Structure 1
Amino acid sequence: MSHRRPLLKGDISFSNPAVRAWLYQIIAVIIVAGIAIYLIHNTVTNLSNRGITSGFAFLDRSAGFGIVQHLIDYEQGDTYGRVFVVGLLNTLLVSALCIVFASFIGFFLGLARLSDNWLLRKLSTFYIETFRNIPPLLQIFFWYFAVLRNLPGPRQAVNAFDLLFLSNRGLYIPSPQIGEGILAFIAAIAAALIISAGLFRYNKMHQIKTGQLRRTWPFALCLLILLPIAAQWVFGAALHWDVPALRGFNFRGGMVLIPELAALTLALSVYTSAFIAEIIRAGIQSVPYGQHEAARSLGIPNPVTLRQVIIPQAMRVIIPPLTSQYLNIVKNSSLAAAIGYPDMVSLFAGTVLNQTGQAIETIAITMSVYLIISLTISLLMNIYNRRIALIER
């Protein structure tokens, strides 16, 4: 028979489980802190022995290299800090494009997978099962080396109305230049949107009171078209267009979408859309079939049933996994370094790191940027998810 000493309220001996728990945690914190201090000291010592100074002063030094695509003005003599901004904007550009295209394609494929049309259903199934099982890097290589790099040269470029030119150098399109009527143009669009929102609210209240449906979109569409046109007619053109033209061995003027951007956008959009399609399909199938039958018994057309009844209920199932796919797009955009697209990884964690030797700083900045972008997307999606969530009372 064991005799255990009863625990007292003020007992601070080792036999007290609470004391042991606190002691183990303190020891664990000390060990982790010791390892961190050792690693930091070792890193600082190695950097000092190699003559590498730490800190972020290198951001003010001149980069001395060109960047093929930049959304802001950039020259070779600009600083590494500006290189960081250029890389960040290029990363945000390809991520935004892929999110939009993958969402649109995935939504269509998800609906097609549930279609009564046998051919459409089988084609969507083939698309999904094919592209989601091929690694994204291989798809990037396919679009870049097998498709886009085999386009004709600038002199034999595909010409569309002398405005768009497609070659192995990229897609050249007219570039917008701000005109004197830009402020009036923006004000006209804002006024059209405000009036349309007010009219939509008024028609909604009228429908609730009388049961009569009034369509808002024809009037809103006319406002969005006519008001900006009237503003430009009175105050001048809001935009002027710089049209590209062939001069020498390449095009000059306009705006170019380089093949690296196109290949990366195509590959990530196609790859991620296959996963989004399955998320859409699962979300729609999660809605009880009784909802379909109830809408059909009321004589509601199938498109209206899908838009007004099924999709709103399915969104609470769709949003969480859809957020993960958006985060995957941002992270997979770092594969751009494989084909030379000037994103954050290629520029900052690649070229800048090799030139400056500031490995810790450049890697830390790059990791922090991806972390902030991912947390921002998660925050926005979670806010939207809370707004559409069904509240049980």
Structure 2
Amino acid sequence: MSTLTDPPQGSFRLSMLLNDTRYRSMTLQVIAAIILALALAYLYSNLAANLRAAGLNISFGFLSSSAGYDINQTLIDYNSQSSNLRAALVGILNTLLVAFLACITATVFGVIAGVLRLSNNWLVRKLMAGYVEIFRNIPVLIWIIIIFTIMTAVMPSPRDFKGDTPAASMLFDLFAFTNRGVYIPGPYFTRGFGGGEGSAVNWVLVIATLLASLFATRFMTARANRIQEATGVRPNTLWSNLAIWILPIIIFCLIFGLTWDIPVLKGFNFGGGIKIGGPLIALWFALSIYTGAFIAENVRAGIQAVSKGQTEAAAALGIRPRRVMSLVVLPQALRVIIPPLISQYLNITKNSSLAIAVGYADITATLGGITLNQTGRAIECVLLLMLFYLLISLTISAVMNVYNNSMKLKER
């Protein structure tokens, strides 16, 4: 009978880097890395030589110079004398705002449409199928332009609110819907947040309280999970979690004097409150309904991937159909839904660059549009744009992958 023994340990020879399986894979990887580094070095030197020949040099000093243009909607203080860097920051915040809002509403539309596509009602099922097929097969840019055009043509102008036009009246004397956008009451605090060291301390206190509420709700949920595993009965955590979030907010509002700034017609436009511009609404709604059609198909596929035996078992236990969907089917379907959902969130973020079509000042319109044309720094602006979209896409992927890993089946 023969026995297997380890090969004799001889002295190291260079030929072993390719002939010995213990070193071959590492050797090939090192060779590939060297070739890639040389290729990148050649491309960089070629780019630098061409730039020198054209009398150009890569510099980001233009970011500190004055922008010289206004932006119609900003989340931070900005004027035409601000720097190009601040203008780019305004564009970044506007991009993140519309991407965040669109991700939420697209998810809501997609989940509702995906569930209703499997409805037993023939009319509802066909209507949802029509929504999916129509909206996902027409480019999102067309939907952006259509919604913006309808909004500007149908909605009344601010000056119409001076007359007796029935359509031009504020809703509950609080909300004004115009062709320039929607004006809503804006909250502000009468004390405690007026600036200075005390204001900074108060903001830190608010953020710390919100984080404490988050950890408290997670603790209550984990406690309920442990009780359910031990006894089979799950305590109701809905009201306790709502109290953990709502009570601190009410206390802060009372302490710091929460007041509402109501929109008021001044001249030919509204003043006060918060303005949600028409370009933002058009872009937000178009991205939501367009991407929601794709998410609906992901939801439908995820639900159909769950075994029918799960539904039948839940029905045999006397669980109502709506509860079966929310407690049994959707939690299992999430394992199929989340991976393609990540791609849809990335598509929303990248498709937001079409905002320039309706005049919404996102990062592409500010840094990649006006700033690029004024300064002539095309290479620098494009590099910064690429870096921003790369970082935000990687961040979304990382966050969603963490959630996806938490939803995976775990072996006991």
Deviation at 1:253, TM superposition (A): 1.6
- The residue that corresponds to 1:77 in the other structure is 81
Please name the residue that 2:198 is paired with: none
**Which consecutive unaligned segments of at least 5 residues does structure 1 have?**
1-8
Partner of 2:109: 105
Shift of 1:54: 3.0
Instruction: Give 1:2-21 correspondences, 5 Å limit.
Output: none
Contact 2:151-2:278 at 8 Å conserved across structures? no
Partner secondary structure for residue 68 of structure 1: coil
Distance 1:230 1:90, change over 3 A: closer
8 Å Cα contact 1:260-1:341 kept in structure 2: yes
Name 1:267's counterpart in structure 2: 286
C-alpha RMSD of matched pairs (Å): 3.1
- State yes or no: 1:302 paired with 2:321: yes
Q: TM-score, normalised by structure 1?
A: 0.86
> Pairwise mapping of residues 1-40 of structure 1 onto structure 2 (< 5 A)?
30=38, 33-40=41-48
Identify which of 64, 82, 85 aligns with 1:60: 64
Equivalent pairs, count: 376
Indicate whether 1:312 and 2:331 are aligned. Answer: yes
CA distance in 1, matches of 2:127, 2:369: 41
Once the two structures are superposed, residues 226-262 of structure 1 have per-residue CA deviations (whole angstroms, 9 ceiling, x without a partner) of 55445544x352x222222111111112111111000
> In 1, Cα distance between the equivalents of 2:28 and 2:225?
61
- Residue-by-residue CA offset, 1:202-230 (whole Å, 9 max, x unaligned): 55555554445542323544565555445
Deviations 1:144-186 (A, max 9, x none): 1133343211022441122111111111112222333675994
SS at match of 1:134: coil
Contact 1:154 1:246 in 2 (8 A): yes
User: Could you tell me which residue of structure 1 aligns to residue 239 of structure 2?
Assistant: 218
CA distance, structure 2, for counterparts of residue 269 and residue 29 of structure 1: 42
SS in 2 for 1:114: coil
The answer as to whether partners of 1:188 and 1:228 remain within 8 angstroms in 2 is no
Give matches, 1:176-195, under 5 Å. Answer: 176-180=187-191, 183=202, 186=206
Identify if the C-alpha distance between structure 1 residues 301 and 23 changes in structure 2 by more than 3 Å, giving closer, same or farther: closer
- Residue aligning to 2:185: 174
1:359 deviation in Å? 0.8
Aligned to 1:3: none
**Aligned amino acid, residue 180 of structure 2:** R
Q: Give 1:1-393 correspondences, 5 Å limit.
A: 30=38, 33-46=41-54, 48=55, 53-156=57-160, 157-180=168-191, 183=202, 186=206, 200-221=221-242, 224-225=245-246, 228-229=249-250, 232-233=253-254, 235-237=255-257, 239-392=258-411
Indicate how the Cα distance of structure 1 residues 209 and 382 shifts in structure 2: closer, same or farther if over 3 A, else same.
Answer: closer
Confirm or deny: 8 A CA contact 1:55 1:361 kept in the other structure.
yes
TM-score (ref. length: structure 2): 0.82
Indicate the residue corresponding to 2:6 in structure 1: none
Mapped to 2, the partners of 1:207 and 1:92 lie a distance apart of 39
Q: Give the Cα–Cα distance (whole angstroms) in 2 for the partners of residues 131 and 169 of structure 1.
A: 25
| Cα pair distance change 1:23/1:80, threshold 3 Å | closer
The one-character-per-residue Cα deviations of 1:71-90 (angstroms, maximum 9, x if unpaired) are 00111111011001100000
Contact 1:327 1:374 (C-alpha < 8 Å) held by counterparts: yes
Contact 1:63–1:79, Cα closer than 8 Å, also in 2: yes
